[in-house]
Amino acid sequence: MYNKNLTIKRKFTKFLLQWHKKFNKRQMPWKGEKDMYKIWLSEIILQQTRVEQGMAYYNRFLVSFPSISRLAAARDAEVMKLWEGLGYYSRCRNLLATARFITSELDGQFPKTYPELLKLKGIGPYTAAALASFGLNQPHAVLDGNVIRVLARYFGIYENAQTGTGKKIFSNLAQELIDLQEPGIYNQAIMDFGATVCKPISPLCESCVMRKNCFAYQHQQANDLPVKQKKSVKRQRWFYYLLVQVNGAFLVRERKQKDIWQHLNEFILLESPRALSKKQVLASGEFIDYVKLSETLPAVSKEYSQQLTHQAIYGRFIEIKLKKTPPLEGYQLKTKKSLQKLAFPGFINKYLGEMKLKEPNTNKVLAFYEFKRLMYL
């Protein structure tokens, strides 16, 4: 059972705010912001994203879409392209949906209460608390990884925050500790404290102003807290993409299925639960008809990979050239230059950044005709 001493709780809030006012030098462009649109934009971008990476995206979004009405009026493809590289693209889809809802249904104004904020698409308890405290000065405590780590160490909480009981313990404690007069400042302080002092690795315990009453410091258990959830085994998937080039343009489509990378662009895909050989890929039902018509020897790339939170993507890219556009529903021809304007998953962008389509040289002519002969056997 963790330390529930009321005096200890009061000292925690007092010392945390003192630390914030005297020592917290962490600078971020949205810090102290009262504009609900800017707060919301920063919080959505920072979900599952490091602050250092998120800053550049935040600034670019504000340049392109300085108001929620401008964001709501933007084309999906334009916003997805700007989001490209941040991952977790459902955040971007929710961003657009919420911007359009607020603009069309709420006259461009964010709700004024925590429960109403929670009803917006893509906004959970943490984001709603951030908006309510930073933008409306309402006492709703944020609870993220930094906050959980600080509370677990200081109060000696051994309950896993991912369990039902753990979530309740941390949520209730966080709400008890929040400063009612300055909830926004308190929330910013505890998150910054966790990011800069009570860090996941090598916390600055010896110079910490909170160490006198910190359970983890007194018991030398900073490395044991918070209790972490066991990592689940990642799902592995193999994606093989066929780049069909017709007169210098490529067949591309928007990914529609409700899976990773929905609404991003891709080439003709063969997905497999295991790695395939070059021969297996080229002879697959998805590719063989196009490969037989190729005017060049198929160029097979090296293996590429992308690590996502719950799955790992591996695969290769195969380039071929055709004289005529094959009848493929949903695909469009895009020039190499126009590919740069489309949003692709990081997995594909890695390849496109290195892609150099070459004309077949005379040294490969015999190999090409031998390949064609074997394909028709």
- The bridge status of strand 311-322 relative to strand 249-254 is unpaired
C-alpha torsion sign, points 283, 349, 301, 290: positive
Instruction: Give the residue carrying structure tokens 């709501």.
Output: 72
Alpha-carbon distance of 58 to 71, in angstroms, equals: 13
Alpha-carbon distance of 114 to 306, in angstroms, equals: 37
Q: What is the DSSP secondary-structure string of 158-223? A: -S-TTSHHHHHHHHHHHHHHS-SS-HHHHHHHHHHHHHHTS-SSS--GGG-TTGGG-HHHHTT-TT
Query: Which listed residue (43, 254, 266, 319) is catalytic?
Result: 43
- Give yes or no for a contact between 319 and 268, defined as CB atoms under 8 angstroms apart: no
Q: Report the length, in residues, of the chain.
A: 377
Degrees to nearest 5, angle at CA 28 with 22 and 34: 90
CA atoms within 13 Å, Cβ hemisphere of 237 = 17
Query: Is 43 annotated as catalytic?
Result: yes
Q: What is the DSSP secondary-structure string of 303-332? A: PEEEE-SSEEEEEEEEEEEESS----TT-E
Instruction: Give the residue carrying structure tokens 């002092």.
Output: 197
Alpha-carbon distance of 134 to 253, in angstroms, equals: 41
Looking at the annotation, which residues are catalytic?
Answer: 43
